[in-house]
Structure 1
């Protein structure tokens, strides 16, 4: 993969500019970087990790709270994975996979039960994500069924609790 090992660690204040740059380069636009900055500014970060190689940030993953409004009127909380970005020079080398695996383990250790992602249906199932519709979940915005996925970090966390998932307003949710 790489001569030096990739270090995955929580973001530091000194990483903010590098995180922004990685998101801009990975997505080819500023929208995702703007969302990360806005979530951070409004105190909405559950977990933010960076991948560091030779002292440089080459990847980033953000987890923030999502609400699950249940059909019975209850509201549960989960965690949304978005965005995940890897510098183009380091894509397809396992950096993103390391970020996702490390992030999910940290969230599990912190006691979180559910993670939601809207992403590539060929990519996220390798980490255990399944279509949200399998659990009676749907995203508040229109989205292909295969792209909206959920993962239970603890057994039973998604059982019998259908509802609508709502991301933070910084993600452009209604």
Structure 2
């Protein structure tokens, strides 16, 4: 029975090949053109398959970028809460070691963030927030831009005939 099955399979394969050759001849294709068309089809099919490794790499890069942005945002918020001047926050963040503030669970430890920022402020005291003192000029009286607007509005309305 095995020998008969092999003969039938061989006969079936030969029949399929002859049918395909007949079809390609009918379409006006030679054997070489047929092989080229099949090779081109296989290349196109392989090219359309997604590259899982490339997609995985892109995902990893996107996750790292999102985590870095999240750390930067949390560090900025912590710096503002410490009263650091907005002009010096970028410098403080560049000097702070915020690589250790992310926990294993992916959450940011606020206390560790504040410690990292305070360490920078201890190392560079010039970046510490300055207490608002009463330095400079003290204004006495109304500012030059604050005039009685009611009288000038009435004068303008009268000049343009709007009253």
Specify which structure has the higher proportion of helix. Answer: 2
TM-score by length of 2: 0.23
Greater RCO, 1 or 2 (C-alpha within 8 Å, sep 6+)? 1
Specify which structure has the higher proportion of strand. Answer: 1
